[in-house]
Amino acid sequence: MRRIEGSEGVELIECVNPIRDKWRIRWDVQKQDNGNVNYMEAEFNHKPSDSEIRDTVFGWINRRTEDKILTGLIYDGHMVWLSSENQFNYKALYDLAHQSKGISLPVTVKLGTDDEPHYMEIDSMAKMGDFYMAALYHVRRTLEEGWKMKDEFSIDDYHKS
């Protein structure tokens, strides 16, 4: 699977070598400013079935969604690593701060990367709420984008020719 740049009007499914029965499928076709398009492409050593096409495209959407959740949030100019564990920890910090009416504050969270860490102190309920809601909104918005991509997928587009 790889991202390719090509010309507009590219076929979503194509037999690229009939002798060896090599097929390629394409998706996420995006028009570029220069008039070309770029798209994701996967190759098969047989004509892929509808379920193989769907599984390939949906698998890519799922991985893309997970990656965007994990590293796509920028807060206060720094990347927030939103692993499942960190999401759980941020919820626990938020819940404890809320339940204790802020007595559990301040807390420090690590933003950025291991190579360029940034430690942020959260010392108020307002800041805790803002940080947690930013993370929550990012996860929700990213999941919704993935759902929309799946909803817009049509296997019928691979039967035109």
Helix axes 50-71, 125-152, angle to 10 degrees: 160
Q: What's the sign of the alpha-carbon dihedral 138, 139, 142, 144?
A: negative
Distance separating alpha carbons of residues 105 and 96, to the nearest angstrom: 9
The pTM of the full predicted model, rounded to 2 decimals, is: 0.88
Q: Residue 48 has what DSSP assignment? A: P
Q: Any long-range contacts for 92-100 (C-beta under 8 Å, 24+ apart)?
A: 93/122, 93/128, 93/132, 94/128, 94/129, 94/132, 97/122, 97/125, 97/128, 98/125, 98/128
pLDDT score of 71: 96
**Tens of pLDDT, residue by residue, the chain (161 residues):** 999 998 888 999 999 999 999 999 999 999 998 889 999 999 999 999 999 999 999 999 999 999 999 999 999 999 999 999 999 999 999 999 999 999 999 999 999 999 999 999 999 999 999 999 999 999 999 999 999 999 999 999 999 75
